[in-house]
Structure 1
Amino acid sequence: MKPFVDIHDVTHVYARAEDGVPAVQNLTIRINEGEFAAIVGPSGCGKSTLMKLATGLQFPREGTVIVDGKEVGAPVKLAGMAFQNPTMLPWRTTVDNILLPLEIVEPHRSRLRKHKAEYVAKAEGLLEQVGLKGQGHKYPWQLSGGMQQRASLCRALIHEPKLLMLDEPFGALDSFTREELWCVMRDLHAARKVTIILVTHDLREAAFLADRVFCMSARPGHIVAEREVTFPRPRDLEITYTPEFSELVHELRGHIAQARKAA
């Protein structure tokens, strides 16, 4: 199977890095279309750099980055992104925040004004999918942190991306809300079959959501372990309390601990 995201033998050094140490070095990772992949590793290992390389926000010093069969040489328009901070614009309603990418990405940018009602209906449909039916008229300050993060997921999906990049999207939430959003993300992936790359420090999150978990070394980052998650889908939260799940999380923790010792 031809990978949808193919990062091959990539080394990247940030211009501002005073020590000249690469953020990632000889990084190779291949993710298939429709797959849910999770990237874990010690702090500063290059997980966010991997995201930037895959979306064309950074370009490697060495190696190649190919997405959907094309080498990345500009920001990737087929990608959607969600971050730990939802960064909703406070003067815009929730629906208008969700529509924001459409003001930038073609062909939606050219169609938005004329077909606004169609796009608003689409945004409202996404809000219903994530449990926010009827909340589109509210402003961000009227929503809880968990509700804002749900809206942020809608914004990342509004232009129907083929690749969804999630950078610690649930890290700032309480554990109960975080687990609720795991289920939202599980259901969105099942419904849309979008390729997802999740960067997270939460090993339980990675094990619950992903098809494969990739463990990165300490800086300069590269993949030191790859683990297929074989629990059948759809997964219920109850699985996270089973011995098999705990064993997987413990195994992943061991890889991270080893990576930190090798630093």
Structure 2
Amino acid sequence: MTFVDLKGVSLTYRLGKETTLALADATFSINKGEFIAVVGPSGCGKSTIMKLVTGLLPASSGEVRVAGEKVTGPIKGVGMAFQNPTLMPWRTTMDNILLPMEVVEPHKRRFRSNRAEYEAQAMKLLQTVGLADFARRYPWQLSGGMQQRSNLCRALIHEPELLMLDEPFGALDAFTREELWGVMQALWLEKRFTGVLVTHDLREAVYLADTVYVMSKRPGRIVLSRKIDIPRPRSLATTFEPHFVDLVHELRDRISQEHA
């Protein structure tokens, strides 16, 4: 069942009299529970697609629909995680994760009276990502990888149907990044949310996604849709298998054509 649908979507940025066509005629759909990745040259409009899908930016032309509804403004029921964790330094890991429950209805009105229930829900997530022993620690007491795990938990605590990930592991070292691919996969296998990952890391895209979309240089267009026919669960050993390596090279070659 189609959950996210873009039809002929373009976006033009205007700054005074200057205009920049950032995205041109983007057309693709994402099924409910599917995990897709968007890759392409820098500045091609990958993050723009995320803003259009979540309603943070209105399309200049074309149509965006989520769950059958036309997107006309910021949508509800979406989780977001970015390259920087943006955890509040004065709140513990637990309190950072519970923040959406304090501000998002219907949880907001029942948060105080049902806090123990919400804490149990958060603790289950923390156990999944290996942070159960760090619930009462502050961000400055966590490594970068731990902070990003906390960030993922916060994005998922209200059980969104749609999770948007904008370079979530880009600031981490290679070892930690690869470790978090496994964490992200485990969360998806358990929750089966619809996932959209924007990344420059082609191995990351192939590891996590059902389908990888390659975008052209600006103005961004979808120039390749590649199904990833590798069974899950995938492991780091999978990334060294010939078929995995071939897929990464295929994507890299297509992006290289855009630089030519």
TM-score range (shorter-chain normalised) is: over 0.9
Structure 2 equivalent of residue 33 of structure 1? 32
Structure 1 equivalent of residue 69 of structure 2? 70
Q: Counterpart amino acid of 1:10?
A: V
State the Cα deviation string for residues 44-92 of structure 1 (Å, max 9, x = none): 0000000011111111011111001111112111110000000101011
TM-score scaled by length of structure 1: 0.96
In structure 2, distance between residues paired with 1:105 and 1:12: 29
Q: Counterpart amino acid of 2:53?
A: A
C-alpha displacement at 1:14, in angstroms? Answer: 2.2
Classify the secondary structure of the residue corresponding to 2:181: helix
Cα contact 2:122–2:157 (8 A) shared by 1:
yes
Aligned pair count reads 260
The percent identity for this pair of structures is 59
Q: Counterpart amino acid of 1:37?
A: I
Cα contact 1:3–1:30 (8 A) shared by 2:
yes
C-alpha displacement at 1:15, in angstroms? Answer: 3.1
Cα contact 2:41–2:258 (8 A) shared by 1:
yes
Choose 43-52 or 104-113, whichever is displaced more.
104-113
State the Cα deviation string for residues 90-132 of structure 1 (Å, max 9, x = none): 0111111111112221111111121111111111111111010
Structure 1 equivalent of residue 125 of structure 2? 126
In structure 2, the CA distance between the partners of 1:217 and 1:19, relative to structure 1 (3 Å rule), is farther
Structure 2 equivalent of residue 224 of structure 1? 223
In structure 2, the CA distance between the partners of 1:184 and 1:15, relative to structure 1 (3 Å rule), is same
Structure 2 equivalent of residue 113 of structure 1? 112
TM-score scaled by length of structure 2: 0.97
Classify the secondary structure of the residue corresponding to 2:197: strand
Structure 1 equivalent of residue 238 of structure 2? 239
C-alpha displacement at 1:18, in angstroms? Answer: 6.3
5+ residue gaps, structure 1? none
Q: Check if 1:259 corresponds to 2:258.
A: yes
Q: Counterpart amino acid of 1:107?
A: P
Structure 2 equivalent of residue 154 of structure 1? 153
Structure 1 equivalent of residue 173 of structure 2? 174
Cα contact 1:77–1:105 (8 A) shared by 2:
no
Structure 2 equivalent of residue 50 of structure 1? 49
C-alpha displacement at 1:192, in angstroms? Answer: 0.7
Q: Counterpart amino acid of 2:68?
A: G
Runs of 4+ in 1 over 2 A off after TM superposition: 14-19
In structure 2, distance between residues paired with 1:133 and 1:18: 53
Give the aligned CA root-mean-square deviation in angstroms.
1.1
Q: Counterpart amino acid of 2:257?
A: Q
In structure 1, distance between residues paired with 2:11 and 2:221: 11
C-alpha displacement at 1:137, in angstroms? Answer: 0.6
In structure 1, distance between residues paired with 2:187 and 2:104: 22
Classify the secondary structure of the residue corresponding to 1:179: helix
In structure 1, distance between residues paired with 2:210 and 2:121: 28
